[in-house]
Amino acid sequence: MDRLNFDGRVAVITGGGRGIGRAYAELLGSRGAKVVVNDPGVRLDGSGADEGPAAEVVDAIRAAGGSAIANLDSVATPAGGESIVRTAVDAFGRIDILIHNAGVVLRSPLGEMSHEDMERSLDVHLRGGFHVVRAAFPLMCAAGYGRIVLTASCSGIYGNHLSANYAMGKMGLIGLSNVAALEGHGKGVSCNVIIPAAVTRMAEGLDTSLYPPMGSDLVAPAVAWLAHERCTVTGEMFVATAGRIARAYMAETPGVYRGEWTVEDVDREMEAIRTSSEPVVFSVVPSGQPDHLRYSFAMAKQT
């Protein structure tokens, strides 16, 4: 099989200074991509600043013969998102790949979570994703090529204790990815979601002693493929956890149709409504939303 390189491609990686973001940056850089390593060097809670992490990754990429530049802007503001993307265009003339990986961790029980911690988390995860996608997407469409990878989480899909803010932001990025996939379809721009798990500093405070190997190196190849021109999918979600790579997707049960419903009818039919032996799956692209509606409409027409 041919080696999948990124020669001539320009990649922006948010949160690229540490953890799995660093693994993405170094892998793409080692395969020919010119990389913008975005990382303001904040602590896990989003406070502070340190130019060291981004600079260290840039130095590592350059020492290995690659090309990279650091960017210290925060994704949390529209101006920051625009500046991150502009750094790529100013330094390398284009942007082909956007990987939104930046994140913060602000844990607390749902009943005690402050509004401030909710907003700070959404600013980085969800609004941060929009800020960089909004800046990069028109450029990609105009160029006729782009690969976007947004980072969700199993904590969003399945929930997790002490993480309402994190879970909400990650699930919101799935909606953003779906829209970018739809609007980029036919313009050479794909957008997909990675649902990664690796033992990085975000696992601080967790007991990982019984975990199998969960290095960032087990996540980065999946993200690199989603960022490559050989990527043949869009509007999809992929899990990368402890060496397992899988596709995740939304599904519905076939459901039950009645021309009229009462509360008692719902009660009687609930077991059939919930039966998932024959799941129904609608692909985001090209027409998941209308296909979902047409499925329900067809059941109504059969009566």
List 24, 145, 158, 166, catalytic entry:
166
- For residue 160, the one-letter residue type is N
| Rg from Cα positions in the chain | 21
Interacting residues of 135 by C-beta distance below 8 A, sequence separation 6+: 81, 82, 84, 85, 86
Interacting residues of 122 by C-beta distance below 8 A, sequence separation 6+: 165, 168, 169, 172
> Backbone dihedral region of 255: left (phi > 0), alpha (psi from -120 to 50 degrees) or beta?
left
- Does the annotation count 166 as an active-site position? yes
- For residue 108, the one-letter residue type is S
Which tokens is 129 given? 């994703």
Instruction: Give me the DSSP letters along 166-179.
Output: HHHHHHHHHHHHHH
> Backbone dihedral region of 34: left (phi > 0), alpha (psi from -120 to 50 degrees) or beta?
beta
Rounded to 5°, the CA angle 187-190-195 comes to: 165
Which tokens is 114 given? 């402050």
Q: What is the set of active-site residues?
A: 166
